[in-house]
Every structure is written in structure tokens, then in C-alpha cells.
């Protein structure tokens, strides 16, 4: 890995990103959680439960992101630092599209609005589900390529 960026270094220094032994089994379990969360988000959307669909969509992306960084030997202890790690380990390396990371960050913001402020909508839920579908599909590809 090239010299880490300052945000990544801060996350490591503050203990919000911790080095671990790369762990494929843990990554696979996280992908399973991501898939389950995505299916629940889709079902919630179909039922008109837009708040939970938004929250579940983000968690599908969160678990897929965790899977990716576990493969690279890191564990996150902060939602923000997970995004920082994805940027450092995958976007900067040309393995993950910056647009997908942006969608991950947008989904996190939408989840926080739904969860903490009670602010959610059908369009936000639909956007979150679409983003989660794309993000999870790409995470699965990256994990399959790493075998």
C-alpha cells in the first residue's frame, strides 16, 4: 500500500481502525449479513416501511464494506472510519469506484437522518436500496477476485 492518507492515519492512531490478520472467513460472514440486510431492506420497501428500508440498506453496505476491509487486514470501530478505510484500501488503489463510496456515504447520512431525526421518505429508501444493491454486487466481485 502506498503511504496512507492523513485521515486513514488518524483513524489508526485513534484506534478506530485496527490491523488484524486478513480473514476470508470473517469477510464471507459479513457478506452473508450484507445479503440478509439487503433482502430485508427490499422487503421493507415493498411494505412501505421507508424508515427501516433506509436503515437496512445502509447496514447492507456497512457489512459489505466490513467484508472488504477484513480481507485487507483491518477492522473498523467507527462508521466514518470504515468509509475512510474503503477509500484508502480500495478507491485509491483503483479497485472500487469513487461513485460507490459516495453512495455509501450518502446512505450513511440517510440512515442517520432516518434513525436519529425521524426524517425519511420513499425516494430516499428507493435510492438507498439501489445503492446497496450496487455496492454489495461490487463487494462480491472484489472478494471473488481476491481468491
Q: Is 144 left (phi over 0), alpha (psi -120 to 50) or beta?
A: alpha
Mean pLDDT of the chain: 96
Residue 49 in this model has a pLDDT that exceeds 80: yes
List, in order of start, the domains of the chain with CATH numbers. 6-145 (1.20.120.330)
Classified as helix, coil or strand, 45 is helix
Summarize the confidence of residues 10-26 as an average pLDDT: 95
pLDDT in tens, 67-103: 999 999 999 999 999 999 999 999 999 999 999 999 9
Residue 1 in this model has a pLDDT that exceeds 90: no
With beta carbons less than 8 A apart as the criterion, state whether 61 and 132 touch: yes
With beta carbons less than 8 A apart as the criterion, state whether 86 and 68 touch: yes
- CA-CA distance, 104 to 113, in Å (whole number)? 14
Give the distance, in angstroms, between the CA of residue 111 and the centroid of all CA atoms in the same chain. 12
Summarize the confidence of residues 117-146 as an average pLDDT: 96
Amino acid at each position: 500500500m502506498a503511504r496512507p492518507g492523513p485521515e486513514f492515519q488518524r483513524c489508526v492512531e485513534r484506534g478506530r481502525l485496527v490491523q488484524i490478520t486478513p480473514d476470508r472467513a470473517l469477510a464471507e460472514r459479513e457478506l452473508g449479513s450484507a445479503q440478509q440486510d439487503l433482502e430485508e431492506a427490499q422487503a421493507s420497501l415493498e411494505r412501505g416501511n421507508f424508515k427501516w428500508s433506509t436503515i437496512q440498506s445502509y447496514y447492507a453496505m456497512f457489512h459489505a464494506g466490513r467484508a472488504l476491509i477484513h480481507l485487507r487486514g483491518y477492522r473498523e470501530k467507527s462508521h466514518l472510519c470504515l468509509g475512510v478505510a474503503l477509500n484508502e484500501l480500495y478507491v485509491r488503489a483503483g479497485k472500487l469506484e469513487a461513485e460507490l463510496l459516495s453512495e455509501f456515504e450518502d446512505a450513511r447520512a440517510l440512515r442517520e437522518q432516518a434513525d436519529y431525526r425521524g426524517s425519511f421518505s420513499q425516494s430516499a429508501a428507493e435510492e438507498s436500496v439501489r445503492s446497496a444493491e450496487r455496492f454489495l454486487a461490487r463487494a462480491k466481485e472484489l472478494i471473488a477476485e481476491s481468491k
